[in-house]
């Protein structure tokens, strides 16, 4: 039995530890791309180690990097930011996430959180002593966030709205009409928008990613996070950023100075190379995820498992309620029996105990093998029922 006291991040770490105890584990849960960082970025880092190893690193990051970020935000996300005052470089998207929450919310304030969501948002809110107002969604609607439900949930203390698109773990992309309604609601009710665009380069079928800050009138109340972790396979470098209006960004800068100071100089130079160098590696990886997504969807179809069709991102969120099992228990069984790690929805929050998250972040042959092993495990499990 899965340990009942383990929830959220702790539950994940217990499963990861178990997964590591086997030599042949296939990890299909973790959000770490299998691709190594493209070589030209590593090369740039090596040069920086020689030429720039002692450069001063201000809390907000190198100006040349902030300029590259501003250019990327204009090019990909469609809005302008001033590199001097509207960009802060962070230790990955994770630090950016924490800083945005701390910047926008104080004790007792509340924020609208479409659920399920990336679990560390809950932890960051707890740290900030802020409250979340959950807006649940289900696989049946492809995890759509309904603006009417958001409106109905607002309270006097609601100060912010979290929009993660594509979402982790659901892989849903907020559609234009919904986004426009949500942004209008934020304007009407004077909410700060906290936007997480970390998967913005991985979009499937005919879906389109739209940055909330690119909509008219939204920029002045929106903090937007992004990082190179997923897009350039740079999870180990810890490089991300926040862009937003200069007044809020001045606060973000002080918070950044208070929680970690600066960002590693070598990673910053690597970031400049990533943003200003060839973009083909990103396309190559996006194409691979597209193929793998199909492999995973086909296998789930064959196993009779329902899921939200991934509109973006690097994973699929699948409904396992037909097993009659809690996802933590199921994940543990699959892991113990077949050495395949899928992430239980209860690691995201208890309300999501009927889901599992699977990522496409394994080479195709490994992915196929993992899915085959999972099929064997599922067959056994269903046979036992």
Ligand X SMILES: Cc1ncc(COP(=O)(O)O)c(C=O)c1O
Output 42 or 303, the one with its CB closest to ligand X: 42
Instruction: Tell which one of 145, 233, 311, 359 touches another protein (CB under 8 A).
Output: 233
Instruction: Tell which one of 11, 15, 66, 94 touches another protein (CB under 8 A).
Output: 94
Question: Residue 73 carries which DSSP code?
Answer: I
Q: Give the list of residues 6+ apart from residue 178 with CB closer than 8 angstroms, or none.
A: 144, 145, 146, 147
Q: Does 316 bind ligand X (CB under 6 A)?
A: no
Distance CA 199, CA 231 (A): 7
- 198-237 mask for ligand X (x: CB under 6 A)? x----------------------------x-x-----x--
Segment lying near another protein (by CB under 8 A), choices 91-99, 138-146, 195-203, 349-357: 91-99
Output 70 or 265, the one with its CB closest to another protein: 265
Q: How many residues does the chain have?
A: 385
Output 144 or 238, the one with its CB closest to another protein: 238
Instruction: Tell which one of 3, 55, 278, 379 touches another protein (CB under 8 A).
Output: 55
Task: For the segment 336-375, give every residue that binds another protein (CB under 8 A).
Answer: none
Segment lying near another protein (by CB under 8 A), choices 28-36, 131-139, 144-152, 204-212: 28-36
Q: Does 92 bind another protein (CB under 8 A)?
A: yes
- What minimum distance in Å lies between the beta carbon of 150 and another protein? 16
Distance CA 106, CA 129 (A): 7
Instruction: Tell which one of 15, 27, 28, 104 touches another protein (CB under 8 A).
Output: 104
Q: Give the list of residues 6+ apart from residue 172 with CB closer than 8 angstroms, or none.
A: 137, 142, 143, 144, 145, 165, 166, 308, 311, 312
Helix axes 39-51, 265-276, angle to 10 degrees: 140
- 309-338 mask for another protein (x: CB under 8 A)? ------------------------------
User: In which region does residue 336 sit, left (phi positive, over 0), alpha (psi from -120 to 50) or beta (all else)?
Assistant: alpha
C-alpha separations of 332 from 17, 85, 165, 325, 353 in Å: 12, 48, 29, 11, 13
| The two structure tokens encoding residue 157 | 């203390």
Q: What are all long-range contacts of 46-55, with beta carbons under 8 Å and residues at least 24 apart? A: 47/269, 48/265, 48/266, 48/269, 48/270, 49/266, 52/265, 52/269, 53/265, 53/266, 54/265, 55/265
Element (H, E) at 135: strand 131-136
Per the DSSP assignment, residues forming a β-bridge with 164 are 196
Strands 110-115 and 131-136: parallel
- 102-141 mask for ligand X (x: CB under 6 A)? ----------------x-----------------------
| The two structure tokens encoding residue 59 | 């809390």
Q: Does 168 bind ligand X (CB under 6 A)?
A: yes
Can you give the C-alpha Rg of the chain in angstroms?
21
Q: Considering CB distances under 5 to 8 angstroms, the limit depending on partner class, which of ligand X, another protein, none binds residue 299?
A: none
- What minimum distance in Å lies between the beta carbon of 166 and ligand X? 8
Element (H, E) at 244: none
Expressed in angstroms, the distance from the first to the final Cα of the chain is: 15
Q: Considering CB distances under 5 to 8 angstroms, the limit depending on partner class, which of another protein, ligand X, none binds residue 164?
A: ligand X
Instruction: Tell which one of 240, 244, 312, 370 touches ligand X (CB under 6 A).
Output: 240
State the Cα angle at 33 between 343 and 37, rounded to 5°. Answer: 160
Q: Considering CB distances under 5 to 8 angstroms, the limit depending on partner class, which of another protein, ligand X, none binds residue 83?
A: none
Which of 129, 194, 196 minimizes the C-alpha distance to 162? 194
Output 220 or 298, the one with its CB closest to another protein: 220
Instruction: Tell which one of 7, 19, 27, 37 touches another protein (CB under 8 A).
Output: 37
| Contacts to ligand X by CB under 6 A | 31, 92-94, 97, 118, 164, 168, 196, 198, 227, 229, 235, 240
| Contacts to another protein by CB under 8 A | 9-10, 32-33, 36-37, 39, 42, 45-46, 49-50, 53-58, 91-92, 94-95, 98, 102-104, 106-107, 120, 123-124, 127-129, 159-160, 187, 190-192, 217, 220-221, 233-239, 245, 247-248, 250-251, 254-255, 257-267, 270
């Amino acid at each position: 039995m899965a340990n009942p006291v383990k929830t959220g991040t702790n539950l994940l770490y217990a499963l990861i530890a178990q997964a590591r105890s086997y030599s042949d584990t296939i990890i299909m849960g973790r959000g770490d791309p299998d691709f190594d960082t493209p070589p030209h970025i590593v090369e740039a880092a090596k040069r920086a180690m020689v030429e720039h190893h002692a450069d001063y690193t201000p809390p907000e990051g190198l100006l040349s990097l902030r300029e590259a970020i501003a250019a990327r935000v204009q090019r990909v996300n469609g809005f302008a930011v001033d590199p001097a005052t509207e960009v802060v470089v962070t230790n990955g998207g994770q630090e950016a996430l924490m800083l945005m929450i701390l910047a926008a919310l104080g004790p007792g304030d509340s924020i609208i959180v479409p659920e399920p969501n990336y679990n560390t948002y809950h932890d960051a809110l707890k740290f900030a002593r802020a409250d979340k107002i959950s807006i649940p969604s289900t696989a049946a609607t492809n995890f759509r966030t309904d603006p009417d439900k958001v409106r109905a949930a607002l309270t006097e203390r609601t100060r912010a709205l979290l929009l993660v698109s594509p979402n982790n773990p659901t892989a849903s992309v907020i559609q234009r009409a919904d986004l426009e309604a949500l942004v209008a609601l934020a304007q009407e009710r004077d909410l700060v928008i906290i936007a997480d665009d970390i998967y913005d380069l991985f979009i499937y079928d005919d879906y389109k990613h739209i940055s909330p800050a690119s909509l008219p009138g939204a920029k002045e109340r929106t903090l937007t996070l992004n990082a190179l972790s997923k897009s350039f396979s740079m999870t180990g470098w810890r490089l991300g950023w926040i862009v937003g209006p200069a007044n809020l960004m001045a606060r973000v800068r002080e918070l950044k100075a208070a929680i970690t100071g600066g960002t590693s100089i070598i990673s910053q130079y690597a970031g400049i190379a990533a943003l200003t160098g060839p973009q083909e590696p990103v396309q190559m990886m996006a194409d691979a995820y597209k193929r793998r997504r199909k492999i995973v969807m086909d296998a789930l179809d064959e196993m009779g498992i329902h899921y939200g069709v991934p509109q973006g991102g690097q994973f699929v969120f699948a409904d396992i309620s037909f097993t009659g099992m809690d996802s933590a228990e199921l994940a543990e069984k699959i892991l113990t029996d077949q050495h395949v790690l899928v992430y239980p929805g209860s690691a995201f929050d208890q309300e999501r105990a009927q889901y599992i998250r699977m990522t496409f972040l394994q080479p195709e042959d490994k992915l196929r093998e993992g899915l085959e092993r999972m099929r064997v495990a599922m067959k056994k499990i269903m046979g036992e029922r």
